[in-house]
Structure 1
């Protein structure tokens, strides 16, 4: 049975960079995103560059019927997923009560519900097949509350704590679970979340998706539980453990409000 890596949110950003890094290592891929044209182009390019099989499936993870269809297809196929990368996610900036509820609901469906469902369904297959690996993508935002991006920060806190709990449950059963918590990255995330990168553009916290992907792949090979690329980001994640909660809230609110347009 052929082995594959399944990557969600694979059409850009970290997902695309991870796809390239893993293809470079000879891994067969199944790329999942909403943009068919982008996926088709990426699949062709990676196949030509690295000589590996790259499949793609279009799926809006916020749509339960589409996600069910994807999982049904994977279940019926003879392809074994031995690495699941839950990278798909969306952001939302601004005062929570002033946001459109449909967007906030979609954020929860993609960042939380789809991720949990993929872990449940493909995790069961990994158990049946003798093991595998799961990488869930959170953020350094997961370590603190974040006013003006409250729903996003909370969704990433879920991913962090869920992943660490799952690692303890499955570690003795042949499934390795890791969680990636990157800091700010030069991707289209900021534009889609309606944020302005502003003062962060020149920050030494800012990394490229390619840097994050390379660090992550190496950490996966070592079965690291918590993956935080960049020593500055590791310090940023550590800070909330020692500072008073009121100060953590205030600092995050100040930073995030500075990212809002106008």
Structure 2
């Protein structure tokens, strides 16, 4: 039976780069994102370039009923998933009380609830089939509180801790769990979060999605628990443990506020 890698958030950024990196290795794929037309063109391109089977499903993971339908489709289908890559994510920037609540709720639905629910459904399938591998995408933001991006930082902290816990729990099921914590990356994230992106996008230290994906797939081969691409990002992830909590949240707040809408 053919086995597939399931990738959420596969229409752009790190999710798209992961799809290409895995297709290059000959992996058959199931791609999930909101934009059907975009997914279809990606599926055609990857199939033509690498000769792999690429299936796709347009699904807004922030809508529980649509997510339920997608997971039911997976459960009733005959395709086995031996690699799950949860890349879908949303960011917001600005004072928490000034945010539109529906946008904040969408962030929580996608970054936390959908990711957790997909891990539960696919994880159970992997356990029945004798094993598999899960990669959840967090961020270096997971290592510190983030005033003016409070919900985003908190959601990524959840992904980090949840993934580390699953790694211990699911080892007995032969399911390997890793968490990817990239630093700021040249994607459309800044624009979607309505951040002032001029300085960020021209930062020479920013990695490309392709660099992050290549680092991630190599780390998956080694079953690395916490994957942090880039030496600078590893330092940024470690620094919060060295300073006081007051200093960490104060500096993070100043940095985030500088990029938020006025």
Determine whether 1:45 maps to 2:45.
yes
8 Å Cα contact 2:90/2:110 also seen in 1: yes
Determine whether 1:181 maps to 2:168.
no
Superposition deviation, residue 205 in structure 1:
3.4
| 1:209 alignment counterpart | 209
- Hey, which bits of structure 1, 4+ residues long, moved more than 2 A? 198-205
8 Å Cα contact 1:205/1:233 also seen in 2: no
Determine whether 1:78 maps to 2:78.
yes
Determine whether 1:19 maps to 2:51.
no
Superposition deviation, residue 204 in structure 1:
4.0
Distance 2:39 2:16 in 1: 10
Distance 2:201 2:38 in 1: 26
Query: TM-score, normalised on structure 1?
Result: 0.99
Which runs of 5 or more structure 2 residues have no equivalent in the other structure?
none
| 2:219 alignment counterpart | 219
Distance 2:192 2:203 in 1: 20
Q: How many residues align?
A: 262
Superposition deviation, residue 135 in structure 1:
0.3
Q: CA RMSD in A?
A: 0.8
CA offsets 1:112-132 (integer angstroms, 9 cap, x no match):
000000000100000000000
Query: TM-score, normalised on structure 2?
Result: 0.99
| 2:129 alignment counterpart | 129
| 2:242 alignment counterpart | 242
Which runs of 5 or more structure 1 residues have no equivalent in the other structure?
none
8 Å Cα contact 2:94/2:261 also seen in 1: no
Distance 1:69 1:257 in 2: 39
Distance 2:217 2:204 in 1: 22
